[in-house]
Amino acid sequence: MNNTTSVQGDTRTLTAIDTAPGRASFPPQDVPSRPPRSEKIVDHHLQRRAIVYVRQSTQQQVLEHRESTARQYALTDRAYALGWPRSAIEVIDEDQGVSGSSVEGRSGFQRLLAEISVDRVGLILGLEMSRLARSCKDWHALLELCAIYHTLLADADGLYDPSHYNDRLLLGLKGTMSEAELHILKSRLQQGMWNKAERGEILNHPPIGYVRSAAARNGAGDYVIDPDEQVQSVVRLIFEQFQRRGSINGLLRWLVREDVKIPVRPISGSERGELQWRRPNRVTLLNMLHHPIYAGAYRWGHREIDPRKKVAGRPTTGRTLNAHDECRVLIRDRFPAYIDWGTFEKNQQQLRENSHLGKAMSAPRHGPSVLSGLVVCGRDQPSVGARHSMLVSYAGATGDRKGSKGGSLRYSCQREAIDYGGDRCQSLSGAALESFVIDRLLQAVSPASLELSLAASADIEHERQQLGKHWQQRLTRSRYEVEQARRQYAAVDPEHRLVARELERRWDEALQADEQLQADHARFLAERPERLSNVERDQIRQLSEHLPDLWHASTTTPQDRQTIARLLLERVRINIEGDTERVDVELRWAGGFVSHHTLRRPVQTYEQLSYFEELLSLIKSLLAEDRSLSAIAERLNNEGFRPPKRSSNFSAGILPRFLRERGIRTGVLPKSVTTENHLDQDEWWLADLAAKLDMPIATLHRWQRVGWLTSRKVTSAGNRWAIFADADELSRLTSLRASPRSWPNPYPPELTTPKPKPH
């Protein structure tokens, strides 16, 4: 009786609640029990939607943590119990498998913020606040919007109104705890990963030339050298040829020319782990040369993410590449090696120097310069320091930097001008410097010509033997593939034609490929046999005995000359003495020996010569002794004086202009002839006027021929030309001399019209 009364009492209570004003009436069995409405929920909230936000951090959690996902979806019942009808409850689950550490990539969370901003959301439900955001920045942005638009938040612990101070304080603490929790989880994972990396046990995909061993090491196979002998041979060949060629370009061109393929084992797909032979490419070669595993070392932290370089919407950006010595973990002698550590370090240095941004000796490049990358500035520069590499510039009529006729080569130090906007440090002609250094190079190698010929012969034979071994391995692999195809064809039932025809086709293809490979191998042996013939040895010996002829031969390329220079020289340090023709040259040879020399460079003017005053004084003294110009030139040459801008000697044709430009008369008038009785007022001898205007006599002669001067010939003075030039004419001629020529009107008429001589 009491139980019946209790049930009836409960029924009356439910009926009273559901028949309250503003609520629909339901049969008792269809209405779930709802708790009394919270005082925080008002009609304004119920008139908008309730959104249930569902998120798991990773795809693994989505697949394995099914119960957590089910609890999140069950929050729709919580929203219904709080008073929202089923039709007004929406689930946002677009962010499944996405981390909550950032708003980037979370389209569901971004849509949630947009819905709040247009005042469509009255309640947001999440299993816990960490599901909404694990970043304080994103969390407080959500709270700010919810406070503005009076949107409620609810989790398993309660209902919150962000516009109330106490609730907002509590929500702020929850957001801080969520971010701290993520930090703690990441720290635990990272520390565990770092500890494993410090033991050298984090292994991803084995690089070219390595495979995972069958034996397990701490639960994972270790890296061992690929058991395939041809793979080992090609990897060793790559490192050896890089040391010979000195650059990635040279190595790549050699591999392509010799038809050497790169062994690759794919890490995914249907042929995962199967050996494939692919064309060599620059990126693969660079990765191999930079990887310390080939020297037996383990590295970790080679590719790290720099948050400053990340781009929104591109999670893989911000990745930085660290050198082997900058990695977080570097363990030497961890794996079997192809090269020793010293060779690896030498390769890294060579790669750095080959870079266009490198400041040291670079690999041979295009262009006629032999010393490109070797020449450094020897002056002390307080702003940038001393010994910066000097830039190489090419100029000529055709603009061809590969050495066309008429082109010129120049070395200049412009580091102060480039970095600090200062003046150019120093500059000199490249032809003079290279000719000087090349002579010393040839002198240095001449005594070792026999050793050079023997070394060259041995080097050529060694390379051919390597290639021959590579060809034999290719032939062996090809014959194995033919035999394998034959066995497969022989094992099939002849009556099963659908399979037999396909296997027969594969056998034919293998036979054709093997025949083509044998033909290529025969052609290779005919062109380059492994052993040099006696004729080839004699040719090498003769070339080594005539190194200057070999150096200047048309068949010797600029890259060959650059390679020889780099084998013998480490640095060429130069220092020009002021603005003179004297250059101090320091040659640092391979092995550490340093030699000092003095080079005489071409300069623009006589005044730049370090011995100019001595030269002028000697010429004046010889003229005072009535010496002829030929005798003066011979005396100057005997005493070692040379004119600027040329390597030739003084001659009787050079001295007149030198003297005329300095106001010293070169010709002697007859004794009966004087300037006073042959020149009228404001008249000049043509040579004297040329010296006055500081211009060549030939140019003034041309002006006289075309009628730009008022002139007359004085027959009694040896047919000399007398030019009328008063003050106005001197001003006109000076302007004419300074006026630039332009096409189609070379000069304005007022400059080319001479003033008539007054009678």
Q: Give catalytic residues, as residue numbers.
A: 57
User: Is the N-terminal amide bond of 696 cis, ω within 30° of 0?
Assistant: no
Side chain identity at residue 391, one-letter code:
L
Residue 467 has phi, psi (to 5 degrees) of -65, -40
Judged by DSSP in three states, 123 sits in strand
What is d(CA 174, CA 642) in angstroms, rounded to the nearest whole number? 90
Q: What is the Cβ-side half-sphere exposure of residue 594, based on CA atoms within 13 angstroms?
A: 8
What is d(CA 228, CA 16) in angstroms, rounded to the nearest whole number? 85
What is d(CA 360, CA 387) in angstroms, rounded to the nearest whole number? 10
Task: Provide the 10 A C-beta neighbour count for residue 734.
Answer: 14
With residues binned 3-state (H G I as helix, E B as strand, rest as coil), the percentages for the chain, rounded to 5, are: 50, 15, 35
User: Is the N-terminal amide bond of 744 cis, ω within 30° of 0?
Assistant: yes
Six token digits for residue 92: 């946002």
Question: Do residues 581 and 600 lie in contact, with contact meaning Cβ atoms separated by under 8 Å?
Answer: yes
Look at phi and psi of residue 651 and say left if phi exceeds 0, alpha if psi is from -120 to 50, else beta.
beta
CA 89 from centre of chain: 56
What is d(CA 388, CA 536) in angstroms, rounded to the nearest whole number? 43
Report the first-to-last Cα separation within the chain, whole angstroms: 158
Q: What is the Cβ-side half-sphere exposure of residue 252, based on CA atoms within 13 angstroms?
A: 13
Closest residue by Cα to residue 190 from 305, 57, 64, 326: 305
What is d(CA 371, CA 377) in angstroms, rounded to the nearest whole number? 13
Judged by DSSP in three states, 248 sits in helix
Contacts 24+ apart (CB under 8 A), 397-405: 401/366, 401/367, 401/368, 402/366, 402/367, 402/368, 402/558, 403/367, 403/368, 403/558
Question: Do residues 136 and 176 lie in contact, with contact meaning Cβ atoms separated by under 8 Å?
Answer: yes
What is d(CA 53, CA 123) in angstroms, rounded to the nearest whole number? 11
